Structure 1
Amino acid sequence: MKTIASNILTLLLLACSFCFSQNSIPYGSNNGKYISINGAQLYYEEYGQGAPLLAIHGGLSTIKDLAPVIADLSTKFRVIAVDCPGQGRSEQADSLSYQLLADYFSKMIDQMKLDSVYVFGHSDGGNAALLLAADRPDKVKKTAAFAAASHTSGYYPEAIAGLDQLTPEDIEKDFKWWLEPHLEKTPQKAQWQQFVKDFSGMCATPLIVPEEKLRKIRSSVLIVQGDNDIVKPEHAVELHRAIANSQLCIVPAASHFILYERPELFNVMITEFFTKEPALFDWTQLGN
């Protein structure tokens, strides 16, 4: 079962490698800055001008993997792309959970004195983005969550098999594609084993976003995923129904890697969501 998860994540690596062969900007290694949150140094990079847009990558990932989003959205927004705690160039936190990620980003918004933000999150980053939207209605204007889930039952079991039981030994054997670049960037090379344990523990927690938090979200939310994603389409519908002011887009013939498969389409959807209000049909006018 762990091999299945390893194969899926390896596909992510290959997709990202293809993307970066097409892009000359070294995202994730491009003269970023550090901000101290709860004693940990978080690394981030900024691109473009305009309204702030916080970009949150997925699990076992970094700023680099958001290249297709950053490149396009930075022409319209001030994109703030951050390496999550323990990943990329950011230091580890004392523990790891989706709520911890949301708390860190909340404090980051305050320390950077941002009046308000748009938020984009991919996969694990989408889970944290939903929690952030629930916790900070005073700051988060709109949230686009791609392949997010509120409970591990929302994933296809075979898609995430083994992630909740990863050990450092598994990483050294099957995840060298992650470990080697991780050790090149992390400021805490001797602590990667602890990060793996913390990450696996986060994946093992069934409840990701409590229903009461979903119902607390008052800002606009776009739920996006591919029809061949690791998240079940019916779970995306559940999220849409639980979040009052939400929109739902299930992209046909698309997987968990739509950022790399169809970046033009994906970025048009995200940009229109952040910049335009939906034209809702007035059903009361039928028959008039």
Structure 2
Amino acid sequence: MGYAQINGLRLWYESYGTGRPLVLLHGGYGSTEMFAPMVPALAERRRVVAVDLQGHGRTADVDRPLRYETMADDIAALLGHLDLSTADLLGYSLGGGVALRTAIEHPALVRRLVLVSTPCRSAGWYPEVVAAMAAQDERTGERMRGTPPHLLYERVAPRPQDWPRLWAKSGDLLRRDYDWSAEVARLSMPTMLVFADADSIPTSHAAEFYGLLGGGHRDAGWDGTDRPAARLAVLPGHTHYDIVGAPALPTAVLSFLTHQVGTPT
């Protein structure tokens, strides 16, 4: 574990296990610790590389906006730093947006893609969630002092005083409208979508996203050989905020990452 000096950023990463690399990208205001429930199971089968994105966790912010596209470039540069020609990516929420943009902008680097609680367009969130994200600013960050995410940030961040700044820059990112549907439809790598049944993203959007990847258009056949390369999982009894700790998540992810495309799981 340590820092990679890339794109003017000291990007923190941690590595566990051996085997084909799997890069984990956390959600907003989080860090690598967000994946603590998953890492032991994943690291039994894979080389797991967990990353703290710009301004999050142990990666200090730099003088540039938070953008999915630039953070995707950071991940591509990290793979080069680690001498990895390809890797599987798993991103959750904010990290899912970064993982998706990495797959769109650097498709040759991404073998398989797992997106957890991630929409493909900004309108994919429930309207009340969009409104709450748009309202995030420094004052929101001040009100969040003393919460578990803040206490972790205060413990690990190189500059704990940047907490309000992170909220301001995140709000600026989250107020930006986007629709990546056309680019999603052109993705060629096998992709798995995972949502909670009580997510911040309606199941109707999950179905729409899955459809863009070629899923849900036809019967798979009695032996499953006509099923698409994409996968869709909806985990029951979970929300956007606890899905990363779902016991079923690592099992579902490993099954997707290891199965041969074109055959039943």
TM-score by length of 2: 0.87
Instruction: Report the Cα offset of residue 75 of structure 1.
Output: 0.5
1:57–1:121 CA contact under 8 A, matched in 2: yes
Give % identity. Answer: 25
Please give the residue correspondences for 1:110-189 in structure 2 after superposition, counting only pairs within 5 Å: 110-177=80-147, 178-189=149-160
Tell me the amino acid that sits aligned with residue 251 of structure 1. L
Tell me the amino acid that sits aligned with residue 176 of structure 2. T
Q: 1:45 and 1:161, CA in 2 relative to 1: closer, same or farther beyond 3 A?
A: same
Tell me the amino acid that sits aligned with residue 67 of structure 1. A
Q: Which residue of 1 aligns with 2:42?
A: 73
Alignment partner of 2:29 out of 42, 49, 60 = 60
TM-score by length of 1: 0.80
Task: Spell out, residue by residue over 1:58-91, the C-alpha distance to the aligned partner (whole angstroms, 9 max, x if none).
Answer: 1111100111221110000000000111000002
Which runs of 5 or more structure 1 residues have no equivalent in the other structure? Answer: 1-31, 282-288
Say which SS state the counterpart of residue 238 (structure 1) adopts.
helix
Alignment partner of 2:231 out of 223, 240, 247 = 247
Alignment partner of 1:258 out of 229, 233, 243 = 243
Using the alignment, how far apart are the partners of 1:193 and 1:230 within structure 2? 24
Task: Spell out, residue by residue over 1:183-241, the C-alpha distance to the aligned partner (whole angstroms, 9 max, x if none).
Answer: 3221133433332211111111121x522321231100001101111111111111111
Provide the alpha-carbon RMSD of the alignment.
1.8
Using the alignment, how far apart are the partners of 2:175 and 2:169 within structure 1? 10
Say which SS state the counterpart of residue 248 (structure 1) adopts.
strand
Tell me the amino acid that sits aligned with residue 69 of structure 2. Q
Using the alignment, how far apart are the partners of 1:159 and 1:71 within structure 2? 32
1:131–1:213 CA contact under 8 A, matched in 2: no
Q: Which residue of 2 aligns with 1:196?
A: 167
Using the alignment, how far apart are the partners of 2:58 and 2:14 within structure 1? 11
Q: Which residue of 2 aligns with 1:9?
A: none
Using the alignment, how far apart are the partners of 1:238 and 1:197 within structure 2? 31
Give yes or no for the alignment of 1:83 onto 2:52: yes
- Aligned pair count reads 247
Instruction: Report the Cα offset of residue 175 of structure 1.
Output: 4.3
Instruction: Report the Cα offset of residue 123 of structure 1.
Output: 1.1
Flag the structure with higher helix content. 1
Say which SS state the counterpart of residue 68 (structure 1) adopts.
coil
Tell me the amino acid that sits aligned with residue 89 of structure 2. V
Give yes or no for the alignment of 1:270 onto 2:253: yes
Instruction: Report the Cα offset of residue 46 of structure 1.
Output: 0.5
Alignment partner of 1:220 out of 179, 186, 190 = 190
Tell me the amino acid that sits aligned with residue 258 of structure 1. I
Using the alignment, how far apart are the partners of 2:184 and 2:259 within structure 1? 23
Tell me the amino acid that sits aligned with residue 277 of structure 1. Q
